[in-house]
Amino acid sequence: MKSDIHLFLESISIQPKNIDFYLQAVTHRSYLNENKEHHLKHNERLEFLGDAVLELVVTKYLFENFPNPEGELTAWRSALVCGEMLYRVAKEIEIQEYLLMSKGEKKDTGRARQYLLANSIEALIGAIYLDYGYEKSEKFIKTYIIVHLKEVLDKKLFLDAKSYFQEKAQEVVGVTPFYKEHSVSGPDHDRIFIVGVYIGEECVAEGKGPSKQDAQREAARIALEKKDWL
């Protein structure tokens, strides 16, 4: 495992001074239940630290680079530090290949796995902060998270897509949209929902997600793009 974690850290340009910080960052609580001899604790305290560092770095960046009012900056920050974005970053840097977790957790590919991966990014940030301090943490966050800000702004990912689509539909065509479940598949722990959003009889777009709510949000986001209402 030691060589694996070094390989991972090399891929994200980290040369560890204390490798235990990073080993703890990839140690999920479930792993300790099956590996009593593991010499480190799980990563939840590092998540707590990393969450605070992430929010500070993103807040500082937005404050220094944009003159927008507080409400807008808050919405942008939320879109950058939310679980969905951190899950996406986790997949991009392939941290899932190095996580220590129970056999049961390894099999789960559903919603719980998404939370686990998102939390691992916060734990990793906490580890970088303990090992190197603020500047290295800031560099990591800018490289892998703040880099998505342009997409957040261009696609208005900071908006509540369902609410915004409803407002635009009522404003433009005077109709309240509704959602209809088209299909659900997969085992109980890994459901995939496909939902359509309708204006009258027209199915404007379909969305897919691990829950009805996620699928609805995705459908609304795609519908906004199709209608050119962004």
How does pLDDT run across 21-62, given as a tens digit for each residue?
A: 999 999 999 988 888 888 889 999 999 999 999 999 999 999
DSSP string, 67-95: ---HHHHHHHHHHHHSHHHHHHHHHHHTG
145 CB-contact burial (10 Å; exposed 0-12 / middle 13-18 / buried 19+): buried
Please tell me whether residue 179 adopts helix, strand or coil conformation. strand
Annotated catalytic residue, options 47, 105, 122, 214: 122
Give the pLDDT confidence of 99-140 residue by residue, as tens digits: 998 877 776 666 778 889 999 999 999 999 999 999 999 999
Where are the extended beta strands (E) located within the chain?
A: 178-185, 192-199, 202-209
- Taking the domains of the chain in order of start, what are their residue ranges? 2-154, 161-226
Angle subtended at Cα 97 by Cα 213 and Cα 37, rounded to the nearest 5 degrees:
110
Class (C level, CATH) for 161-226:
alpha beta
Catalytic residue status for 51: yes
CATH of domain 2-154: 1.10.1520.10
Annotated catalytic residue, options 51, 105, 214, 218: 51
Is the pTM higher than 0.95? The answer reads no
Q: Which residue has the tokens 């390894």?
A: 106
